[in-house]
Amino acid sequence: MKMHLELYASLMHLLPPGTSRHKREIKVAEGTSVQDIIDEYNIPLEMAHIVLVNGKFVCEDRTQHILEEQDVLSIWPPVAGG
Amino acid sequence: MSWTRKILRVNLTEGTCTPEPLNMEWAKQYLGQRGLATKYLVEETDPNVDALSPENLFIMATGPLTGTMASTGGRYSVITKSPLTGAIACSNSGGFIGNEFKNAGLDMIIFEGKSPSPVYLYIENDKAELKPADDLWGKSAWEADEMIHAKHQDPNIKIAVVGRPAEEGCLYSAVINDLHRAAGRSGVGTVMASKNLKAVAVRGTLGVGGVDQPQEFFEAVNAGKKVLADNAVTGEGLPAYGTQVLMNVINGVGGLPARNMRDVGFEGAENISAEAMNEPRASDGKPNLTTNGACFGCTIACGRISTVDKTHFSVKDKPQYHGASGGLEYEAAWSLGADTGVDDLDALTYVNFICNEDGLDPISFGCTVAAAMELYEEGQISNDETGGIDLRFGSAEALVACVEAVVSGTDFGKTLGMGSKLLCEKYGKPELSMTVKGQEFPAYDPRGIQGIGLAYATSNRGACHLRGYTIASEILGIPVKTEQADSDGKPELVKAFQDATAVVDSAGLCVFTTFAWGMEDIAPQIDAACEGDWSIDKCLEAGERIWNMERQYNNAAGFTADDDTLPKRLLKEAIKSGPTEGQVSKLGEMLPVYYEVRGWTPQGVPTAETLSRLGLS
């Protein structure tokens, strides 16, 4: 199935080649979890700090959050501002 | 001690500069800077005074850690009554001037009265004198800064100065120091100019000593610096990306207001983000961001130094803006960008330069332009009134024209200088003003993020994120993650952030340290530096005391619980799309609980028991 992966700030270099600044359409198998994507794209665990699926925080166990068709997974390292 | 124990009292009416001892009884209750200067303001002025009258005080104050080796220990604040809100004003700035005040042997400068003609205050260690500033009047902050440096032939003088809009009464004028840093909020620059005080120039070489327990201080400060360096946010994220890294985060979680907060979510957010600032541009291959920068003593260095594309319409005929200068921070990028619907990074950077050059609060300026854009699109403001500016949301040309109108003092520029509240009232649409107590909002939507709405509504200086930055918890997970849509627990969270921030703002430290530091890191630094008991509990008690003192000042100035509110748009108009679709602010649920948690009556008045517990009357 197709979904979208968005990486920001110091994680951007881990995106596969593409034209969009942050977003890539990727193909994944049914049953893929958030943690599977984090592993596949070599995102260090401590750097996957803000993790959203369709703009909602993934607060539960990331291995248990199964992605669906057209989901948008967005990941940031630890950041802050104000 | 770490306090110098010395105040300079400047009577502008009489033209006198008189040193006096710091009230140490008060220092032990209110610490310094925000807390201690507010105590002086409370004791020496009527809260109902006209903010722009000679009877208002204008105070520049450092904290006990300002000028010490504590990380970020370079802060100073301006404390006065705000002409924008009528409430207490306390605007905090970094840069280098706070350290210079301290090195000149001063904890605080209190300005009284009004000079009969323009003056600037020149301080060189123990020497202080008012000097004529007729030639500086009518100049931008940057021009005046350069002229003062030239007069004294000393590049090491540090200068705080107001620009032309402050002289003209623009209600959101800032005090600019070190060219790119600002005591920005609540119109403190307008008060300074109302006293015919153009600038304060200071050179201090006396050193900062008198630390109560030097060895303990050395250890506590070094431990604090290690925490900042080891933390991913303060050690890596902020230096690399600055506060602007939040643009995509807040947009991603459904918390980014746009177009005068009519919408939530901005389609152009990524074009004005920290990541975009790092990208090479087509014309010269250079990115917007030149480098990062640090204020005095700071080991974080979140500041942005940027350039505008020389071929961009805003600067192509203005070579004076082709060099690197203070770049976009998140709040400015939001107000100048998302809130006006403009996603032109170069235009925002140029407008930010002008805000620095002439002393404007970019948050209030951007939000006022956003309100004017909505009024224009609704037909309330005509093309004739704008002087021909086609004031539509999304127009970079209109945004640039507006800032140039404000600094050059055109009729429409003066209208924009009224701020969002008076502007919307002038055109019969007060409901379009996105303000609390007359001050414009920062960059987080209270419908999408509940706690920050309560923090805005109860902030003692009007809408402000820095009085209780619950975003740290609700979005960034610092120190623990709370659910942004929940209202439960938010009153307690808001109070905790408000009290802790009052401590940091009174110590001489930067609030950004709290992304890594808890009170267990901060209190030992204060305790070792200052005489007296500054344990965690005592620090937090001082923070609560300061908060309640500010509240009492506002209550005495005529504010009531009715002013602890948000615009109807944020209470009634649900978010139309995105991850927070359907949400409104649940302020009505949170506010009564907040009053209870604070120990206040249902009318928002501190109870006698609360006042007694905190040593207030």
Whether the CB-CB separation of B364 and B439 falls below 8 Å is answered with yes
**How far is it, in rounded angstroms, from Cα B595 to Cα B603?**
8
Phi, psi for B336 (deg, rounded to 5): -75, -25
Which residues in chain B have their CB less than 8 angstroms from residue A51's CB? none
Give the domain-ending residue among B409, B439, B469. B439
Does A82 reach chain B within 8 Å, measured CB to CB? yes
Residue B451 lies in a domain: yes
Residue of A nearest to B275 (CA): A9
Residue B527 lies in a domain: no
Residue B81 lies in a domain: yes
Residue B278 lies in a domain: yes
Q: Evaluate if pTM is beyond 0.95.
A: yes
Does B244 reach chain A within 8 Å, measured CB to CB? yes
> Do B451 and B433 share a domain, yes or no?
no
Q: What would the pLDDT profile of B178-220 be if each residue is shown by its tens digit?
A: 999 999 999 999 999 999 999 999 999 999 988 999 999 999 9
Reading the block at residue B238, the tokens are: 């902020």
Give the domain-ending residue among B419, B439, B459. B439
Cα dihedral: B184, B190, B195, B200 (round 10)? 30
Q: How far lies B148's CA from each of A16, B12, B158, B399, B400, in Å?
A: 54, 19, 10, 31, 29
Q: What is the ipTM of this complex?
A: 0.98
Q: What is the pLDDT of residue B617?
A: 83
> Do B282 and B392 share a domain, yes or no?
yes
Q: Which residue in the set B243, B275, B578 is minimally distant from A8, CB to CB?
A: B275
How far apart are the CA of B545 and the nearest CA of chain A, in angstroms?
A: 25
| Chain mean pLDDT for chain B | 98
Q: How far lies B462's CA from each of B83, B126, B360, B439, in Å?
A: 12, 37, 17, 5
Which residues in chain A have their CB less than 8 angstroms from residue B515's CB? 80
B92, B250, B253, B272: best to mutate for the A interface, most A CBs within 10 A? B253
Residue B304 domain boundaries: 245-439
> Do B378 and B461 share a domain, yes or no?
no
> Do B51 and B71 share a domain, yes or no?
yes
> Do B477 and B382 share a domain, yes or no?
no
Helix, strand, coil percentages (3-state) for chain A, rounded to 5, are 20, 30, 50
> Tokens 């109560």 correspond to what residue?
B212
Which residues in chain B have their CB less than 8 angstroms from residue A12's CB? 275
Query: Contact B245/A8, CB-based, under 8 Å?
Result: yes
> Do B606 and B458 share a domain, yes or no?
yes
What does the buried/exposed string (b/e) look like for B363-377 if buried means 16 or more CB atoms within 10 Å of the residue's CB? bbbbbbbbbbbbbbe
Residue B224 lies in a domain: no
> Do B380 and B500 share a domain, yes or no?
no
Q: What is the CATH number of the domain that holds B76?
A: 3.60.9.10
Residue of B nearest to A57 (CA): B253
Residue B210 lies in a domain: no
Residue B236 lies in a domain: no
Please compute the mean of the pLDDT values over residues B570-589 and round it to a whole number: 98
Does B236 reach chain A within 8 Å, measured CB to CB? yes
pLDDT above 80 (res B482) = yes
Nearest 5°: the CA angle B197, B200, B204 is 160
Q: How many domains does chain B have?
A: 3
Reported confidence tier of residue B394, pLDDT bands at 50, 70, 90 = very high
Count of beta carbons in the 10 Å neighbourhood of residue B533: 10
Reported confidence tier of residue A82, pLDDT bands at 50, 70, 90 = confident
How far apart are the CA of B381 and the nearest CA of chain A, in angstroms?
A: 33
* Beta strands B76-81; B119-124: pairing state: unpaired
> Do B279 and B194 share a domain, yes or no?
no
Give the domain-ending residue among B203, B226, B258. B203
Q: What is the CATH number of the domain that holds B414?
A: 1.10.569.10
> Do B264 and B328 share a domain, yes or no?
yes
Does A60 reach chain B within 8 Å, measured CB to CB? no
- Closest to A47 (Cα-Cα) out of A56, A39, A36, A59: A39
> Do B372 and B467 share a domain, yes or no?
no
**How far is it, in rounded angstroms, from Cα B59 to Cα B37?**
7
Residue B570 lies in a domain: yes
> Do B46 and B112 share a domain, yes or no?
yes
Does B444 reach chain A within 8 Å, measured CB to CB? no
Does B481 reach chain A within 8 Å, measured CB to CB? yes
Q: Which residue in the set B241, B469, B515 is minimally distant from A9, CB to CB?
A: B241
Return all residues near B589 (Cβ < 8 A) that are at least 6 apart.
B487
Q: What would the pLDDT profile of A49-79 be if each residue is shown by its tens digit?
A: 999 999 999 988 999 999 999 999 999 999 9
Please compute the mean of the pLDDT values over residues B590-603 and round it to a whole number: 98
> Do B453 and B343 share a domain, yes or no?
no
- Closest to B329 (Cα-Cα) out of B238, B455, B260: B238
Query: Contact A55/B331, CB-based, under 8 Å?
Result: no
Reading the block at residue B459, the tokens are: 């902030």
